């Protein structure tokens, strides 16, 4: 069985923790593990291989986090498929299934869900596998514990059958209450199991355009160490979810009721429910000083957060952004992200610390005319051979030994030594040693945006 892990999505409802270039599935929220790592860990116990579908930025994040995990070696094989642009779940799953044996059973899971009852999870997976072997498309229905208006619902024929009668959109509160009391309605978890070939047959039958254009995109893709779909081919594929494209139309759909302590961690209210709390109901945080404050979500690792007589609030501090909200209103965070995009702010896109395939950079100061960064390069990695049109750069090495190329000259730069790169000059930074290289970069120029990079050569095939 292969676990197809869908890594798409920006998790905008968890801003400012979650950003486009560091979405919630890669943020280490639970015992210093990310939801992505927990997904891999959980499914390594029941699947022989995994297939990660992501965009290029998330691919490098996934690689980094997989390298940290002991269970990564448990998989016989890991495959990667990179989408240049997202077209929702139906094309993503189809592209992965084209790369697999038609008889291979696949477990499709989002990368950003939390499942705490793994014993029960393994039981429902076993039930689903029996149904998938009988050529069914299996979905996992979460037994509702309250009237949730933010989820879609699956209606079974009755409370004691696995046959699906209908899928329902997100309901209003009164309808959700009826669903809760009926006994045959389940939250749609977004997890599925089926044979790769059976899914593709049903996709071809009910959404033939998605099938045809996905197959064309797969056939045109480059296939070396990973599968890279071409941008134009991906754009040609209609955007649609697996629910709309197949599950709501097929007669082969079964639901496995699942009581697995599941959460999509889709809002700060949901995150609050899952985090450990102190005796006053505040989320545990060593940086929090509480004076008569109760039942608050307090998130922040950089500064001390003090609260006085505060109750039922969400306070999230990430260094470059501060969110304060009443509990129960955190679904409106998406509106904040929309306003940031309208204002052309980068705050929705990236944290002060940005992750790259070669390491990280942290913005220490950013003012008109100059920017100061802390850059860390992993052993054996190097940045692209590049140039800038609008800034000069001054590098001061703090630790490690940097191999620096400027123009036609390559030299070693050691701690407390520096080098200077003038505007328009071709240059590269590499770490050929065995410990990380840490340096301070001072940029001076009329524009210091991250998009002022012309890559001439890149080890990671970035443009």
pLDDT tens digits for range 117-147: 999 999 999 999 999 999 999 999 999 988 8
Which residue in this structure is represented by tokens 């039922």? Answer: 312
How high is the pLDDT of residue 72? 63
- Please provide residue 132's backbone torsions phi and psi, each rounded to the nearest 5 degrees: -65, -35
How high is the pLDDT of residue 73? 62
Q: Residue 21 pLDDT > 90, yes or no? A: no
Compute the distance between CA of residue 398 and CA of residue 416 in angstroms, rounded to an integer.
6
Q: Residue 394 pLDDT > 90, yes or no? A: yes
Percent of the chain with pLDDT over 90: 79
How high is the pLDDT of residue 436? 96
Domain boundaries 2-263, CATH class:
alpha beta
Its pTM stands at 0.87
How high is the pLDDT of residue 74? 60
Task: Answer yes or no: same fold for 2-263 and 353-457.
Answer: no
**Is residue 21 a contact partner of residue 350, using CB atoms and an 8 Å limit?**
yes
Query: For the segment 80-101, what is each residue's pLDDT rounded down to a tens digit?
Result: 999 999 999 999 999 999 999 9
Instruction: Give the CATH H-level superfamily of domain 353-457.
Output: Jelly Rolls (2.60.120.10)
Q: Residue 401 pLDDT > 90, yes or no? A: yes
Q: Residue 76 pLDDT > 80, yes or no? A: no
Query: For the segment 256-271, what is each residue's pLDDT rounded down to a tens digit?
Result: 999 999 999 989 999 9
Over range 69-86, report the average pLDDT.
81
Q: Binning pLDDT at 50, 70 and 90, where does residue 451 land?
A: confident
Q: Residue 240 pLDDT > 90, yes or no? A: yes
How high is the pLDDT of residue 201? 98
Question: Which conformational region is residue 135 in: left (phi greater than 0), alpha (psi within -120 to 50 degrees), or beta?
Answer: left
Q: Binning pLDDT at 50, 70 and 90, where does residue 442 land?
A: very high
How high is the pLDDT of residue 224? 85
Q: Binning pLDDT at 50, 70 and 90, where does residue 449 land?
A: confident
**Is residue 313 a contact partner of residue 296, using CB atoms and an 8 Å limit?**
yes
Domain residue ranges of the chain, discontinuous segments joined by +: 2-263, 268-332, 353-457
How high is the pLDDT of residue 162? 86
Query: For the segment 287-333, what is each residue's pLDDT rounded down to a tens digit?
Result: 999 999 999 999 999 899 999 999 999 999 998 999 999 999 988 99
Q: Which of 204-208, 344-348, 394-398, 401-405 is the least confident region? A: 344-348
């Amino acid at each position: 069985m292969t676990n197809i892990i869908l890594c798409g999505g920006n998790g905008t409802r968890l801003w400012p923790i979650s950003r486009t270039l560091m979405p919630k599935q890669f943020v280490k929220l639970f015992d210093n593990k990310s939801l992505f790592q927990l997904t891999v860990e959980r499914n390594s116990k029941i699947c022989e291989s995994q297939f990660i579908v992501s965009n290029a930025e998330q691919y490098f994040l996934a690689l980094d986090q997989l390298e940290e995990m002991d269970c990564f070696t448990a998989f016989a094989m890991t495959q990667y498929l990179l989408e240049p642009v997202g077209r929702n779940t139906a094309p993503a799953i189809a592209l992965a299934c084209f790369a697999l044996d038609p008889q291979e059973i696949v477990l499709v899971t989002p990368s950003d869900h939390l499942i705490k009852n793994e014993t029960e999870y393994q039981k429902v997976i076993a039930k689903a596998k029996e149904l998938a072997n009988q050529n069914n498309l299996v979905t996992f229905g979460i037994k509702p514990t309250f009237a949730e208006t933010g989820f879609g619902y699956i209606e079974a024929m009755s409370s004691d059958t696995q046959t699906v009668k209908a899928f329902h959109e997100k309901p209003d509160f009164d309808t959700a209450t009826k669903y809760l009391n009926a006994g045959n309605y389940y939250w749609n978890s977004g997890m599925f199991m089926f044979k790769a070939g059976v899914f593709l047959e049903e996709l071809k039958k009910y959404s033939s355009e998605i099938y045809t254009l996905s197959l064309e995109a797969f056939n045109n893709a480059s296939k070396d160490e990973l599968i890279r779909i071409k941008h134009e081919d991906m754009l040609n594929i209609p955007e649609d979810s697996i629910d709309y494209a197949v599950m709501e139309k097929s007669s082969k759909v079964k639901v496995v009721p699942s009581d697995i302590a599941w959460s999509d961690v889709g809002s700060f209210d949901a995150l609050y429910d899952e985090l450990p709390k102190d005796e006053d109901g505040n989320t545990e945080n060593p940086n929090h000083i509480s004076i008569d404050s109760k039942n608050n979500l307090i998130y922040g690792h950089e500064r001390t957060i003090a609260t006085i007589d505060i109750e039922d609030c969400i306070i999230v501090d990430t260094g470059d952004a501060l969110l304060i909200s009443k509990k129960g209103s955190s679904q409106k965070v998406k509106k904040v992200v929309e306003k940031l995009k309208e204002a052309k702010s980068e705050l929705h896109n990236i944290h002060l610390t940005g992750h790259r395939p070669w390491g990280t950079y942290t913005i220490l100061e950013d003012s008109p005319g100059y920017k100061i960064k802390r850059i860390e390069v992993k052993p054996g990695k190097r940045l692209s051979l590049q140039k800038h049109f609008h800034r000069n750069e001054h590098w001061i090495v703090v630790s490690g030994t940097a191999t620096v190329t400027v123009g036609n000259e390559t030299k070693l730069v050691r701690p407390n030594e520096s080098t200077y790169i003038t505007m328009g000059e071709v240059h590269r930074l590499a770490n050929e040693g065995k410990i990380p290289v840490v340096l301070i970069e001072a940029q001076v120029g009329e524009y210091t945006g991250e998009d002022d990079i012309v890559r001439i050569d890149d080890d990671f095939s970035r443009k």
